[in-house]
């Protein structure tokens, strides 16, 4: 009966998953502000650009400096809102972008090759926006020891109100200009590229004053936690939304909004990157050189806003009559591993497969290889499931043979139960003697399945995290493998297949346990109603193959017993 206990453990695991999911939603709820009608509300009080760590104890004053006396924060009065002046619109083959002349912020970014939903194919997916409660923008600027540098409060001048990447062009430059009375001119450039989600960011400082200019560049993401529910019974299975950093020592480390609120990040790093990730998409800030040293920082602001960014750790100096360019990169797009790994080391880890990445990564490679042949992600999942089943064929055969033998012993075990009644000690001794006589291992049906559990979990996260499955159709009514089956057909088929599989297993002698086992298909069906269709498809195919294999093995064992 160990096999039945194994299924009970699975049921318990699902209950624990629900508890964990509820806890996650509770934590996210604590971070969300009470609803209001504010469209744009981003007070800048207390916002600052952190500097290098110091060895002194206690809190750092707002006037703290780095070598060269570069102030920690822009010397700008607090503003009640994230103000807007003029919008510069940029259209490329992949993006629709709006840049505000206030600070030169990227206030809106929509991905043209990814639609908002299957029902809205002509509406691009909005990754960055300053409209509504889900504030999410990219800001950048300069700070200088003399104060003559444009931070993200200053107003730039744009040469045009709209820029387009025309056919035949591979590069689009969008310049913004700021000039100080002292003779300092800063040209901020966003450089867009064809078929790339990477945006080059440049600050060119031209010094026409009589004094050397010293300063650093900073870039940051400002965001509120998203409001939509991502729980099991919400918009889908829960996936992480929040900050991530990468350093040479820590390739991938999550820093969620609660971490930012609890303790500000202040880290000197050579290379690396900082990012905000969500289901399928990522925005990352990357230095142009992995040898360049930066200061990673985070900060919790008023109105449920959070900053995550980096600033230069080494001063740039521009002599009178000279100019220099400070560069950086922004990745804003889907979590496509082939693109991410070409931007920065370990950026592909934002496709988060969890602790079983070592298994999930080869599975994704194999799934992609199959898709390259069949050109349909649904059929790719079906064929991948068949291949996995073939790999574990011998293990499954051992498991099903043990189940068949246990099923054959069911009448004898029932007689032992009738004989010994409630005397558990004598009943267990008699059952062990029966197993020994019939050469049956009661754990034989359990252990082979346990070996396969890590593969099942890795496959779950691989299918859940792969943006390639987003809005990918299969057949007929399945138009998006990344969301639930709209008509619940696949979950019902999965439940029926699980019920049929239960009928092939030995019936527990304990009536209570038997009733629990019979209820499990119903319980699992309810769980799977909200699972992405791609995951349910895997389980349906896996169950179907398991039933066929188990049926054949059971008939063979029963036939061999009849001949004996």
Spell out the domains of the chain, with CATH numbers in brackets.
40-55+63-350 (2.70.98.90), 361-563 (no CATH)
Residue 68 CB-density burial (10 A; 0-12 exposed, 13-18 middle, 19+ buried): middle
The pLDDT tens digits along the chain (564 residues) read: 444 444 444 544 554 454 444 444 444 444 444 434 333 433 343 344 434 333 322 222 233 333 334 444 443 334 445 788 899 999 999 999 999 999 999 999 999 999 988 888 889 999 999 987 889 999 999 998 777 899 999 999 999 999 999 998 999 999 999 999 889 999 999 999 999 999 999 999 999 988 999 999 999 999 999 875 544 444 445 678 999 999 988 899 999 999 999 999 999 988 899 999 999 999 999 998 877 889 999 999 888 899 999 998 888 899 999 999 999 999 999 999 999 999 999 999 999 888 888 899 999 999 999 999 999 999 999 999 999 888 877 776 666 666 666 666 667 776 777 677 666 777 777 777 776 676 666 555 555 566 677 887 888 888 888 898 888 899 889 988 888 888 999 899 988 888 887 776 656 555 666 676 677 788 888 878 888 888 889 889 988 888 887 777 766 655 655 555
Confidence (pLDDT) at 227? 73
Calpha distance 502→498 (Å, rounded):
6
Query: 317: which strand partners?
Result: 214
Record the tokens describing residue 441, joined without a space: 């291992």
Supply the pTM of this predicted model. Answer: 0.79
Confidence (pLDDT) at 559? 61
Calpha distance 271→292 (Å, rounded):
6
Handedness of CA 442, 445, 446, 448 (dihedral sign): positive
Contact 184, 206 (CB under 8 A): yes
Calpha distance 222→278 (Å, rounded):
14
Record the tokens describing residue 293, joined without a space: 């040293």
Contact 63, 71 (CB under 8 A): yes
Confidence (pLDDT) at 76? 35
110-126 burial code (b ≥16 CB/10 A, e <16): bbeebbeeeeeeeebbb
Contact 459, 365 (CB under 8 A): no
Contact 277, 240 (CB under 8 A): yes
Q: What 3-state DSSP class applies to 116? A: strand
Look at residues 354, 234, 217, 188 and name the one whose alpha carbon lies nearest to residue 293. Answer: 217
Which of the 8 DSSP states describes residue 228?
A: S
CA dihedral 498, 499, 500, 504 (to 10 degrees): 90
């Amino acid at each position: 009966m160990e096999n039945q206990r194994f299924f009970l453990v699975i049921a318990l695991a699902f209950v624990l998953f629900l508890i964990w999911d509820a806890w996650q939603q509770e934590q996210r709820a604590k971070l969300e502000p009470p609803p209001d009608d504010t469209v744009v509300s981003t007070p800048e009080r207390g916002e600052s650009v952190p500097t290098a760590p110091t060895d002194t104890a206690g809190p750092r004053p707002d006037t703290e400096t780095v070598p060269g006396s570069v102030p920690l924060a822009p010397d700008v009065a607090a503003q009640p809102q994230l103000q807007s002046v003029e919008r510069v619109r940029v259209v490329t083959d992949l993006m629709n972008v709006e840049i505000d002349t206030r600070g030169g912020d990227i206030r809106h970014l929509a991905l043209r090759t990814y639609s908002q939903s299957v029902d809205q194919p002509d509406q691009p997916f909005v990754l960055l926006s300053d409209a509504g409660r889900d504030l999410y923008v990219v800001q950048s600027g300069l700070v200088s020891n003399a104060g003559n540098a444009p931070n993200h409060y200053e107003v730039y001048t744009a040469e045009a109100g709209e820029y387009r990447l025309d056919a035949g062009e591979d590069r689009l430059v969008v310049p913004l200009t700021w000039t100080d009375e002292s003779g300092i001119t800063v040209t901020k450039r966003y450089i867009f590229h064809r078929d790339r989600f990477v945006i080059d960011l440049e600050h060119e400082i031209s010094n026409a004053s009589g004094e050397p200019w010293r300063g650093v560049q900073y870039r940051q993401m400002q965001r509120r936690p998203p409001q939509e529910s991502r729980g099991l019974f919400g918009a889908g299975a829960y996936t992480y939304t929040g900050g991530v950093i990468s350093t040479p020592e820590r390739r991938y480390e999550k820093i969620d909004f609660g971490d930012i609120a609890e303790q500000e990040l202040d880290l000197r790093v050579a290379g690396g990157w900082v990012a905000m990730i969500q289901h399928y998409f990522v925005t990352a800030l990357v230095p142009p050189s992995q040898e360049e040293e930066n200061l990673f920082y985070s900060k919790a602001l008023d109105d449920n806003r959070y900053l995550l960014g980096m600033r230069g750790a080494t001063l740039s100096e521009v002599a009178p009559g000279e100019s220099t360019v400070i560069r950086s990169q922004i990745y804003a797009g889907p979590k496509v591993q082939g693109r991410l790994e070409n931007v920065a080391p370990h950026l592909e880890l934002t496709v988060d497969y969890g602790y079983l990445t070592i298994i999930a990564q080869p599975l994704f490679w194999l799934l992609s290889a199959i898709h390259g042949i069949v050109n349909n992600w649904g059929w790719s999942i079906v064929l991948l499931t068949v291949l996995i089943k073939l790999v574990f064929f011998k293990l499954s055969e051992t498991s099903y043979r043990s189940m068949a033998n246990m099923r054959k012993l069911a009448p004898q075990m029932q007689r032992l139960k009738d004989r010994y009644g409630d005397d558990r000690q004598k009943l267990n001794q008699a059952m062990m003697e029966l197993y020994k006589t019939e050469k049956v291992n009661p754990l034989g049906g359990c252990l082979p399945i346990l070996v396969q559990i890590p593969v099942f979990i890795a496959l779950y996260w691989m299918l859940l995290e792969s943006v390639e499955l987003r809005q990918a159709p299969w057949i007929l009514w399945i138009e998006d493998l990344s969301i639930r089956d709209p008509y619940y057909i696949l979950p019902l088929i999965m439940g029926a297949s699980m019920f049929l599989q239960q009928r092939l297993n030995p019936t527990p002698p304990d009536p209570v346990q038997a009733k629990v086992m019979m209820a499990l298909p119903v319980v699992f069906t309810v769980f799977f109603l909200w699972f992405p269709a791609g995951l349910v498809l895997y389980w349906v195919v896996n169950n179907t193959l398991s039933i066929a294999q188990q049926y054949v093995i059971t008939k063979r064992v029963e036939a061999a017993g009849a001949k004996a």
